[in-house]
C-alpha cells in the first residue's frame, strides 16, 4: 500500500491518493431463497427497505417530469420532498469505509488501534 499527497488544486480539500496492491478473488455465489425467511418478524420490513431506493428514484423522476410540465409552487414542493426522501434513503444505504489492514515500513498492521494511531501521526 502506498499513500501520496498530490498538490492541491483550487479547492480547499487536500487530495490523498491511496494505492492498494492486495487482490481478493472470490467466486460468484448463487442466490438461494430460503422459505424460512418468510417467518422472520422483520421479513417484510427488510424487503420494503431493499426496494425503497427504486421507489424513491421513481418518485423523484415523476416529480421532476410533473414540475417540468407544470412549474407550480406545489409541484416544486412535491419534487423537493421526493428528493429529500431519496437522500434519506441513500444515506441509510451508505456503508462506512473501514481500513482493515495497512503496511507501514514493511510491517503489516491489523489492529484498528494501531491503524488509527498510524493515521493520526501521519496526518
The larger pLDDT score, comparing residue 105 to residue 16, is at: 105
Q: What is the pLDDT of residue 29?
A: 74
pTM above 0.85, yes or no: no
CB 118 within 8 A of CB 109: yes
CA 103: distance to chain centroid?
25
Which pLDDT tens digit goes with each residue over 42-73?
A: 888 888 777 766 777 888 889 999 999 999 99
Q: What is the pLDDT of residue 94?
A: 61
Among 16-20, 105-109, 112-116, which stretch is predicted with the lowest mean pLDDT?
16-20
CA 112: distance to chain centroid?
21
The larger pLDDT score, comparing residue 95 to residue 74, is at: 74
Amino acid at each position: 500500500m502506498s499513500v501520496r499527497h498530490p498538490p492541491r488544486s483550487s479547492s480547499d480539500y487536500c487530495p490523498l491518493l491511496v494505492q492498494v496492491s492486495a487482490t481478493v478473488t472470490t467466486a460468484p455465489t448463487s442466490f438461494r431463497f430460503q422459505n424460512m425467511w418468510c417467518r422472520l418478524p422483520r421479513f417484510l420490513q427488510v424487503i420494503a427497505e431493499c426496494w425503497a431506493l427504486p421507489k424513491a428514484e421513481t418518485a423523484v423522476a415523476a416529480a421532476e417530469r410533473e414540475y417540468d410540465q407544470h412549474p407550480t409552487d406545489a409541484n416544486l414542493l412535491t419534487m423537493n420532498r421526493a428528493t429529500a426522501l431519496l437522500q434519506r434513503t441513500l444515506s441509510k444505504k451508505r456503508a462506512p469505509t473501514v481500513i482493515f489492514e495497512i503496511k507501514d515500513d514493511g510491517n503489516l498492521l491489523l489492529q484498528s488501534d494501531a491503524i488509527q494511531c498510524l493515521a493520526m501521526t501521519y496526518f
